[in-house]
Structure 1
Amino acid sequence: MNIRIIGSGSYVPDVVVKNSDFSEHVFFDDKGNPVQSPETVIGKFKDITGIEERRYASEHLVASDLAFHAAQRAIDDAGIDRDTIDYIIMAHNYGDIGFASIQSDTVPSLASRVKNKLRIKNPRCVGYDLLFGCPGWNEGMIQANAFIKAGMARRCLVVGAETLSRVIDRYDRDSMIYADGAGAVVVEATENDRGLLSYESATYAYDELEYLFFGSSYSRETDPGVRYIKMKGRKIYEFALNHVPLAMQACVDKAGIDISRVKKILIHQANEKMDEAIVARFYDLYKMTPPEGIMPMSIHKFGNSSVATIPTLYDLIMKGNLDTHAFSQDDIILFASVGAGMNINAFTYKV
């Protein structure tokens, strides 16, 4: 028995925030000292991350709203009765945060809220939240695979949604990386050789625990009791390059497939230069260079929406909405992600 994706959906918010919109911001370093002019910061930012603009959720929406819209589209795409879903696995990291609020709301769970918004009445449709950093949606797919193979489920809805714009420190240059969005898929059991072939997952929390963390604003004028998403960029970059390619290699080797069969790599849209370096190092493990077009990117227009980046990217390609990228039957896709924990995961999937 295997699992296959039978429907996908995504929700890309309408509010477009361009790099130039940060031109009036004042940025500080982690010591509270002013950094270069906004124009200089913005110029370097585009060169490093590849991000030109990002999307923020409208003021009246929260993460579970975005998740609902993506989930509804995935269910419609699958053409199924929503009451036949056995599990709703809801990946996120910060819960529902209202616009201009500083409080995260996670009770009831976002999965329960999505189930309610979808009007699923069946009580045996179990919903739970999954907090696993940016690799949360990938981990949800791995868990759905386990549920289905164990006979605990026949069909699962796996969603990733985040409103990172609600937890950024506007005085931190890294705030320009983050975005909002949601992506979802419906997966079900299959008896053929397609679907999820192998996976790899790990948590590094010995020395790496606080590479991503919640911390005070870099502005000394801001309430020190309010926390914002913070990261140690250089540490994360080095960690990702040292560990993610090896996880990707282990995953491909577990599947027993030749590297030449991998047609696309859907990697977490965190930083274009970092993702390119990860993929280059992955292929270097096989004494190869990355094939042209192997790594589709959406970060240029959508930024880093954490758990939503990969399912959104998958849906964009499935719907023919990402440049010249497409999937064909029997293609092997390699999914990979890294994020707070520090967590890493990857899985191979045969279309």
Structure 2
Amino acid sequence: MNIKITGTGSYIPNVITKNADFHLHEFKNLDGTRFPHSNEETIKKFKDITGIEERRYLDDNLNASDIAFLAAQKAIEASAIDIETLDYIIVATNYGDVKKGAIQSDTVPSMAARVKYHLRIKNPRCVGYDILFGCPGWIEAMIQAQAFIKCGMAKKCLVIGAESLSRVVDKHDRDSMIFSDGAGAAILEASENGGGILAHESATYSYNEAHYIYFGKSNSPQADPNVRYIKMNGRKIYEFALINVPKAMKSCLEKSGKSIKDLKKVFIHQANEKMDEAILKRFYKLFGEEFPEGVMPMTIQELGNSSVATVPTLLDLVINKQIDKQELKKGDIIMFASVGAGMNVNAIVYEY
């Protein structure tokens, strides 16, 4: 049995926020003291490191579950399945729905239940649940979905990654410039045709690393002390990722039985352009190879880091030839890889 992606979809929010829009922000250190550099210097350095020039935010009237539904609709249309035949809807998210101006995330009912409601699926045996796995959540949900199919518990699964990080960022934290919103979805099915998922790898490093990404108070002493925002230790994450992501990718590729020379594309979590490049260089070096040009499609420059949505959104854009000089051909060997809060790492090798 082969387990294949038969349709993809994505939702790219309409609100474009450029780096220049942060010039009037009052950035502070964790201890509340004023950031030592001018905003112009801070933003320039930020662009040089992350590659981000702009990011997308949700319209005020939309929530993460809304765009999860919109991405799902496109994936369902592309796959041409009957929605009543879906066995599972799995939604990867970190904060659920956070309404504009709210101070709480809303995960009751689950995002998956909300998506199923919006899709108007009547079948009660279509089971919906959410997965919390940090930025690698969509890849981990794909791994779970293929396990359901492989063991006979399912034939068709809808797997979604959706996030609205713009609503949990601290405007006094320079890291707020990294995060964005978006949603991506895929239909995974059992297939008699060749290809599909060849191997996967997952790991959680939490002995010392669990709190590299966390929920913390604002950097501003004047902010409400009871409100929490997404925070991260960028240096620790960078060092962690450079060691552990290439290792997981290498293990996954070896499990698949494919060669590094077979690999046509790597869809890696769009976290930081310099970090992603360094991860890929180190991964190829483990096989004694140079990192080839064009193997790593990137959207972070325009879309920022939308967490669980980055990989499925990237895949959908490449499949639909919306990224210049990037395309997939039947039989291409590709890899999905990610790292995020937990600290979690995972990868999938897939034959397109």
Which category describes the TM-score, using the shorter chain as reference length?
over 0.9
SS of residue paired to 1:221: coil
Separation in structure 2 between the aligned mates of residue 121 and residue 161 of structure 1, nearest angstrom: 23
2:194 matched to which residue of 1?
193
Separation in structure 2 between the aligned mates of residue 305 and residue 152 of structure 1, nearest angstrom: 31
SS of residue paired to 1:170: coil
Separation in structure 1 between the aligned mates of residue 156 and residue 196 of structure 2, nearest angstrom: 13
- Tell me, yes or no, if structure 1 residue 5 matches structure 2 residue 5: yes
Please give the per-residue CA displacement for 1:108-146, whole angstroms capped at 9, x wherever unaligned: 001000000011111010000000000000001100110
SS of residue paired to 1:30: coil
- Work out whether residues 9 and 312 of structure 1, in 8 Å CA contact, stay in contact via their aligned partners in 2: yes
Q: Which amino acid letter does the alignment assign opposite residue 259 of structure 1?
A: I
Please give the per-residue CA displacement for 1:54-85, whole angstroms capped at 9, x wherever unaligned: 00000000000010000001001111111111
- Work out whether residues 2 and 145 of structure 1, in 8 Å CA contact, stay in contact via their aligned partners in 2: no
Separation in structure 2 between the aligned mates of residue 48 and residue 26 of structure 1, nearest angstrom: 20
Separation in structure 2 between the aligned mates of residue 70 and residue 245 of structure 1, nearest angstrom: 30
Separation in structure 2 between the aligned mates of residue 224 and residue 281 of structure 1, nearest angstrom: 41
SS of residue paired to 1:213: strand
Please give the per-residue CA displacement for 1:171-203, whole angstroms capped at 9, x wherever unaligned: 000000000000000010013330000000000
- Tell me, yes or no, if structure 1 residue 306 matches structure 2 residue 307: yes
- Tell me, yes or no, if structure 1 residue 26 matches structure 2 residue 26: yes
Of 188-197 and 271-280, the range deviating more from structure 2? 188-197
2:286 matched to which residue of 1?
285
Please give the per-residue CA displacement for 1:276-333, whole angstroms capped at 9, x wherever unaligned: 0000000000111111101000000000000000000000000010111000010000
SS of residue paired to 1:111: helix
Please give the per-residue CA displacement for 1:239-295, whole angstroms capped at 9, x wherever unaligned: 000100000000000001111000000000000000000000000001111111010
TM-score, normalised with respect to structure 2: 0.99
Q: How much does 1:31 deviate? A: 1.3
2:266 matched to which residue of 1?
265
2:322 matched to which residue of 1?
321
Q: How much does 1:223 deviate? A: 1.1
Q: What is the alpha-carbon root mean square deviation over aligned residues?
A: 0.6
Q: How much does 1:206 deviate? A: 0.4
1:348 matched to which residue of 2?
349
Separation in structure 2 between the aligned mates of residue 11 and residue 193 of structure 1, nearest angstrom: 29
Q: Which amino acid letter does the alignment assign opposite residue 31 of structure 1?
A: D
Separation in structure 1 between the aligned mates of residue 278 and residue 71 of structure 2, nearest angstrom: 30
Separation in structure 2 between the aligned mates of residue 258 and residue 202 of structure 1, nearest angstrom: 22
Separation in structure 1 between the aligned mates of residue 162 and residue 329 of structure 2, nearest angstrom: 27
Q: Which aligned pairs between 1:88-107 and structure 2 lie closer than 5 A? A: 88-107=89-108
Please give the per-residue CA displacement for 1:195-252, whole angstroms capped at 9, x wherever unaligned: 0000000001100010000000000000111100000000000000010000000000
Q: Which aligned pairs between 1:142-221 and structure 2 lie closer than 5 A? A: 142-221=143-222
Separation in structure 2 between the aligned mates of residue 258 and residue 333 of structure 1, nearest angstrom: 11
SS of residue paired to 1:3: strand
Separation in structure 1 between the aligned mates of residue 59 and residue 150 of structure 2, nearest angstrom: 39
Ranges in structure 1 where 5+ consecutive residues have no aligned partner: none
Separation in structure 2 between the aligned mates of residue 330 and residue 120 of structure 1, nearest angstrom: 33
TM-score, normalised with respect to structure 1: 0.99
- Percent identity over the alignment? 62
SS of residue paired to 1:157: strand
Ranges in structure 2 where 5+ consecutive residues have no aligned partner: none
Q: Which amino acid letter does the alignment assign opposite residue 314 of structure 2?
A: L
Q: Which amino acid letter does the alignment assign opposite residue 201 of structure 1?
A: S
Separation in structure 2 between the aligned mates of residue 260 and residue 81 of structure 1, nearest angstrom: 38
Q: Deviation above 4 Å: which 4+ runs of structure 1? A: none
Please give the per-residue CA displacement for 1:18-50, whole angstroms capped at 9, x wherever unaligned: 000000001001111111111111110100000
- Work out whether residues 216 and 225 of structure 1, in 8 Å CA contact, stay in contact via their aligned partners in 2: yes
Q: Which amino acid letter does the alignment assign opposite residue 199 of structure 2?
A: S
Separation in structure 1 between the aligned mates of residue 315 and residue 58 of structure 2, nearest angstrom: 20
Separation in structure 1 between the aligned mates of residue 102 and residue 192 of structure 2, nearest angstrom: 47
Q: Which amino acid letter does the alignment assign opposite residue 347 of structure 1?
A: I
Separation in structure 2 between the aligned mates of residue 96 and residue 208 of structure 1, nearest angstrom: 27
